[in-house]
Chain A
């Protein structure tokens, strides 16, 4: 996917705003600093423990805005419905979107609907655009990341991916596992009130923590080191990953973020996160270095460092 984006989309659309390669683009318009983002949601199944495609679409879009330091205001929502989708399912999704929007303090202000033939749509696809405002003094983007920065994570990883798998594959665990799907804008506000020493933020989505740190390492051309034993993983996620031969670092999340922060301010920001309901599991997990720019190293408990690469394609359970 990254190769497709690099070889087809970026060259075709290249401009100084797009080329910053952040989750949303911040544009100066008539004295306002607008943040714009767009996303599409194709998750299957439509409903999963802890959420649904509707909640995901609102939270995911809000998070992309929040990662630029923007206060989210408005969303658009366009729906592609597969013929035969039950009205009750659509109503449930839409109601969930309204609830998520109210919780995030945003409004869905325009939309569109299309219907495709049965077999052409996997139930329901949702596409969104989000608009927010960024404070004049704020610049939060990959190119601000510098050697010496600390890396913080807001909580434990892997819940969303395992929750999805549990429904898709019919796995049931002793302890029910909900997706971590959540809007992170209030946590981001809380962090920025504590300190302005935040250089970059990124929410963890498909591809997990590994994808997020690799993207920043590449976009900022810095080296990153992650301490494996510092990464919080709850027991049910660990157990599911062991069972299926998955690495939690690559499992999807939808309500977690990482922040790259001036080292001196890292400890107080972790403490501040822990005072917020969405940041109670916050932890310091690594650092930025000038060495091996573009590459992420994982320091494990045995004192060995290995390269934490991007995966080619989806992570798949191994045969035996």
Chain B
């Protein structure tokens, strides 16, 4: 398959692995931002191709992991209403709220439907004119244009039984939070390739300069990630801190102008709470006033109650790369993918879930 097989070529992967080992002269910690990159690393075992001196920190780019607890609770509240169809991406269904998750709300009778796109939710609204339809609009910049388009089309087509719960977050402010932390361990960053496909690479230049941290805009296939790590290590070894675009088959310097314009039309930048990281200024998106009739929280008069995270869950420290899952006393015992206590164990891209898959020693495998 074009654009897939070439970037999974085993011999090229091994060559890059060797090049990384040849280049590195000391310990480095690299953070891959995006949950999709974490997923690829875990699925293909790419961390096992790195020398011991290079460690990967799985970053906060997992929308499932960072959606605040109070937004999950608000979503569950809406989903439990009898007069409403609640639409969501599938992986939000198992994220634990304070008392239950969306899947449990569905089991109790809530009309919760999995959709692949916000436009599917809009279609449901169009076909069910007597029912309110709410879409759980979570994600980073990647999913913002489609969510914006759903609102835009709802307005154009006068679909007034459609609204969204917005919990969008932006990557650059989170990087500031992580890199400015007094215990920051991150030396280099693999930026999220699909976020940058929308937004471009320019907004990462001031971050690289301010913190002296090389930032490589990286794709998702094994060769993308290995090449991203290689380019990052090269800069670190030379003391450089530039933004480099490894994912040039998808990312342009200025990003996707039409997508950015759509985001700007519908959304404005606001402070946003991140689960585990706290409130970060100018780090989220909210509907502009002129589209406020599509704001489900306003439409249904939902007031969020600050939720208290379970005190034993250290997801927040894990999302920042300050701690690793085995340092959590609940990891792999009380907290497992079957019974997740925090968001980083729920999502297949969450750090705790990824570590859980490597819980046995792999030293004894017979040859292929």
Interface positions of A (Cβ within 8 A of B): 3, 169, 225, 227, 235, 238-239, 242, 244, 247, 287, 289, 291-292, 295, 297, 299-307, 309, 312-314, 316-320
Contact = CB atoms under 8 A, between A and B. Distances in A.
Contacts of B92: 319
Contact of A287 (B49, B63, B358, B366): B366
B14 A303 contact: yes
A320 B338 contact: no
A3 B362 contact: no
B10 A303 contact: yes
Contact of A301 (B10, B39, B89, B359): B10
Given A3-B338, A291-B365, A306-B357, A320 B36 contact: yes
A196 to B, nearest CB: 26
Contacts of A312: 94, 337-338
A305 B360 contact: no
Given A225-B366, A307-B360, A320 B39 contact: no
A304 B48 contact: yes
A225 B366 CA distance: 8
B358 A304 contact: no
Contacts of A238: 1
A175 to B, nearest CB: 13
B143 A320 contact: yes
Contacts of A247: 43
B94 A313 contact: yes
Given A302-B222, A307-B358, A312-B94, A317 B116 contact: yes
Contacts of B338: 3, 312
B140 A318 contact: no
Contacts, number: 96
A119 to B, nearest CB: 11
Contact of A319 (B4, B13, B44, B143): B143
B89 to A, nearest CB: 5
B36 A306 contact: no
B78 interface: no
A225 B367 CA distance: 10
Nearest to B144: A320
Contact of A302 (B36, B45, B142, B360): B45
Contacts of A239: 1
B244 interface: no
Given A307-B360, A312-B338, A299 B365 contact: yes
Interface string B347-360: 01100000011111
B105 to A, nearest CB: 15
Nearest to A244: B116
16 contacts: A3-B338, A235-B1, A289-B364, A291-B365, A297-B365, A302-B45, A303-B14, A304-B45, A304-B48, A306-B358, A307-B358, A317-B89, A317-B116, A318-B348, A320-B63, A320-B140
Contacts of B107: none
Given A287-B366, A289-B364, 7 more contacts: A291-B365, A302-B10, A302-B13, A302-B222, A306-B42, A316-B91, A316-B93
A87 B338 CA distance: 41
B90 interface: yes
B112 interface: no
A301 B49 CA distance: 12
B357 A309 contact: yes
Interface string B85-103: 0000111111000000001
Contact of A297 (B4, B14, B362): B362
B98 to A, nearest CB: 20
Contact of A299 (B13, B138, B368): B368
A320 B66 CA distance: 14
Nearest to B337: A312
Nearest to B198: A320
A42 to B, nearest CB: 15
Contacts of A318: 35-36, 39, 91, 348-349
Given A169-B116, A312-B338, A320 B194 contact: yes
A313 B63 CA distance: 19
B195 to A, nearest CB: 8
A300 B49 CA distance: 12
Nearest to B338: A312
Contacts of A304: 44-46, 48-49
Interface in B78-131: 89-94, 103, 114, 116
B139 interface: yes
Contact of B139 (A303, A305, A319): A319
A279 B114 CA distance: 36
Nearest to B14: A302
B259 interface: no
Contacts of B253: none
B122 to A, nearest CB: 14
Which of A169, A292, A302 counts the most chain B CB atoms within 10 A? Answer: A302
A305 B103 CA distance: 33
A306 B338 CA distance: 19
Contacts of A302: 10, 13-14, 44-45, 49, 222
A305 B14 contact: no
A238 B4 CA distance: 10
A306 B139 CA distance: 28
A289 B357 CA distance: 19
B194 to A, nearest CB: 6
Contacts of A225: 365-366
Given A300-B45, A304-B49, A291 B36 contact: no
A289 B39 contact: no
Contacts of A292: 360, 364
Closest 3 CB pairs of A and B: A316-B90, A304-B45, A320-B142
B167 to A, nearest CB: 12
Nearest to B10: A301
A4 to B, nearest CB: 11
Contacts of A297: 362, 365
